Structure 1
């Protein structure tokens, strides 16, 4: 995500949409697209790198109907470093109207994941209990009306649309009564031309933001090649009591926890507490993102004077047990028994200072955590850098 991009506070969305209950078009919300064309193409390069010959449930390509052959072609021939979005789409699909839809795009782009987390934190008012589950979707193409027809999202789903290109795109919306009165029911309609005269039209382009509340029937229209990033916001569903139990046990007793005394002597009540604690720390550290990043950052070498800082808006959380479990961006790793109380205290201080957003160097970090050796500290920093938790500045 470009560091020089500026936007109005996310709370403006809540105000403009009457508390997230009405559609809102915020023109000029961004000074420039918060996600670049290069970010989008690099995300697809990572998707293609994971291709194993099988289609992905999160990727769909449409030309008229869904085209699995084009999905295979996309996955087997990634964008190259010289291509633009237009030349890549043209190479894949020619001149035919085509739609490319990638769900869970936050898995493949640190920039997209960070933007989604920032949005969610802003809308929550910094209250973890108000966080949504956030999924990022990339919608690319010149497909005309969306192949999904006029439909309504299920439940209390809300969507923030962020256009990334200058081509104008429109979203048509109908209140339930208007749509059902015109069609006789709530079944999706694939006759948008007949119903568009009854709709509210919201047109936007790069720099704008559109908020779609729950319960409105809608369809997108993209006659020219465009790219839009949509953040789908859904209320968190109460998890099952044992969700996360295996990961919590691994953090407690290591990868071979099944045969460990620590695991075998746990009561059911204690296991339920561990599982709940693990889920909540994963949730808080991810800021509600539906998926964690699937790739690591390129390893960078730095000297004792090289500064590093945490990637905002994320925070590192820790859980003390037999050792120390560290939670960052929805993932965890443990520093298992062998740590003294002083080691644990110093590491907690180090993470607390990191969470302030202040720049640190290895030299300063050694002062913050004097009991932690240089090699151990370098290892922890390298893990956090690889997992996109901190960056060198």
Structure 2
């Protein structure tokens, strides 16, 4: 399918109220089709939240090396996936959750035997691979399958359309950690770093915005790596980072509690206090803001007031920080489901 046809299919699928109600036969007819979506959690807040609960503290056990977690959405009716019989990256482990409505099959071959038989591990069509030595696993609707590393495999959904969410867990290599640190350096090195998207005029005045700034004098690779790890860990190692939208302050009036297991990660630098939550970063420059955050971290609750009138810069930064905690999921309104 060419990119233009794929866009038309996506537009038509989006016309249905939910993925469960999509009429795939209307879109593709009675023949085979296969849809593979990378970074699928970017399209669903619920999917990312559910996955974070499923992972629990699993990611923390792999520090300091760290891991990355990513979602794939697999939809289709097919005798074999277009990838053929293949092997994933050696560091990958993948959970497959079959949402149904039909059973999907996974066929596995021992990779060492596969390489010996076919003189290498290059992917090939299942039509040209012997079933001798393979093992077939049926993934019934509403069940899960764990695919360990180092197995050649191919998926099949011959009985009808299956919808599968795959949760891919990869260990971070030293090269990947270095790239993470390099990316953080690119953001940390500019002399002024605007945080306008996190610190807006919450009273809704169209006339202007307030920003938090930070200056960076000496940020090296080691410090940048600490910031990269904090960003990743604050999002439970998931690579998908959801964009945040902060509501006007008057709409957030109330009492909030810090969520268990969702506490922001703080890094103290000479230029200010850096907070990470849900993969996002904000910088507190003013002593009043830092003291207020330390109080919140200790008491685990705070209040947002529906103030009117003029703000001082210190008050504005404190309110911005509180709204940011809510928007990134680090805090919830009291009485709201955990």
Which TM-score tier does this pair reach, normalised by the shorter chain?
0.7 to 0.9
Q: Deviations over 1:60-109 (max 9, x none)?
A: xxxxxx44233211343452353553534334323321111111112222
For the Cα contact (< 8 Å) 1:160–1:230, is it kept in 2? yes
Query: Is 1:233–2:169 an aligned residue pair?
Result: yes
Change (3 A) 1:278 1:125: closer
SS in 2 for 1:315: coil
Query: Is 1:349–2:309 an aligned residue pair?
Result: no
Change (3 A) 1:96 1:177: same
Aligned runs of 1:289-368 on 2, under 5 Å? Answer: 289-294=238-243, 296=245, 301-304=251-254, 307-310=256-259, 313-321=261-269, 322-336=271-285, 339-340=286-287, 342-354=288-300, 360=301, 362=303
Q: How far apart are the structure 1 equivalents of 2:246 and 2:240?
A: 17
- TM-score, normalised via structure 1 length: 0.66
For the Cα contact (< 8 Å) 2:289–2:317, is it kept in 1? no
Q: How far apart are the structure 2 equivalents of 1:180 and 1:308?
A: 54
**Which stretch shows the higher mean deviation, 215-224 or 88-97?**
88-97
State the partner residue of 1:285: 234
Unaligned runs of 5+ in 1: 1-65, 355-359, 365-371
**Which stretch shows the higher mean deviation, 322-331 or 113-122?**
113-122
Query: Is 1:129–2:64 an aligned residue pair?
Result: yes
Residue 115 of structure 1 and its aligned partner are, at CA, apart by 3.5
Q: How far apart are the structure 2 equivalents of 1:350 and 1:83?
A: 39
Match of 1:172 among 107, 128, 150: 107
Q: How far apart are the structure 2 equivalents of 1:160 and 1:81?
A: 27
**Which stretch shows the higher mean deviation, 224-233 or 195-204?**
195-204
State the partner residue of 1:161: 96
For the Cα contact (< 8 Å) 1:134–1:233, is it kept in 2? yes
Aligned runs of 1:164-203 on 2, under 5 Å? Answer: 164-192=99-127, 195-196=130-131, 198-203=133-138
For the Cα contact (< 8 Å) 2:284–2:290, is it kept in 1? no
For the Cα contact (< 8 Å) 1:132–1:235, is it kept in 2? yes
State the partner residue of 1:245: 185
Residue 199 of structure 1 and its aligned partner are, at CA, apart by 1.4
Query: Is 1:140–2:106 an aligned residue pair?
Result: no
SS in 2 for 1:348: helix
SS in 2 for 1:225: strand
Pairwise CA RMSD of aligned residues?
A: 3.3
State the partner residue of 1:212: 147
Q: How far apart are the structure 1 equivalents of 2:153 and 2:41?
A: 24
Residue 118 of structure 1 and its aligned partner are, at CA, apart by 3.8
Query: Is 1:111–2:46 an aligned residue pair?
Result: yes
Residue 278 of structure 1 and its aligned partner are, at CA, apart by 1.5
Q: How far apart are the structure 1 equivalents of 2:245 and 2:157?
A: 34
Query: Is 1:255–2:194 an aligned residue pair?
Result: yes
- TM-score, normalised via structure 2 length: 0.76
Of Structure 1 and Structure 2, the greater strand share is in: 2
For the Cα contact (< 8 Å) 2:277–2:329, is it kept in 1? no
For the Cα contact (< 8 Å) 1:105–1:136, is it kept in 2? yes
For the Cα contact (< 8 Å) 1:149–1:188, is it kept in 2? yes
Residue 325 of structure 1 and its aligned partner are, at CA, apart by 1.8
Change (3 A) 1:362 1:302: same
Change (3 A) 1:128 1:102: same
State the partner residue of 1:68: 3
State the partner residue of 1:14: none
Residue 298 of structure 1 and its aligned partner are, at CA, apart by 7.4
Q: How far apart are the structure 2 equivalents of 1:126 and 1:247?
A: 28
Query: Is 1:99–2:34 an aligned residue pair?
Result: yes
Q: How far apart are the structure 2 equivalents of 1:289 and 1:309?
A: 20
For the Cα contact (< 8 Å) 1:99–1:140, is it kept in 2? yes
Residue 182 of structure 1 and its aligned partner are, at CA, apart by 4.5
Q: How many residues align?
A: 303
Change (3 A) 1:198 1:333: same
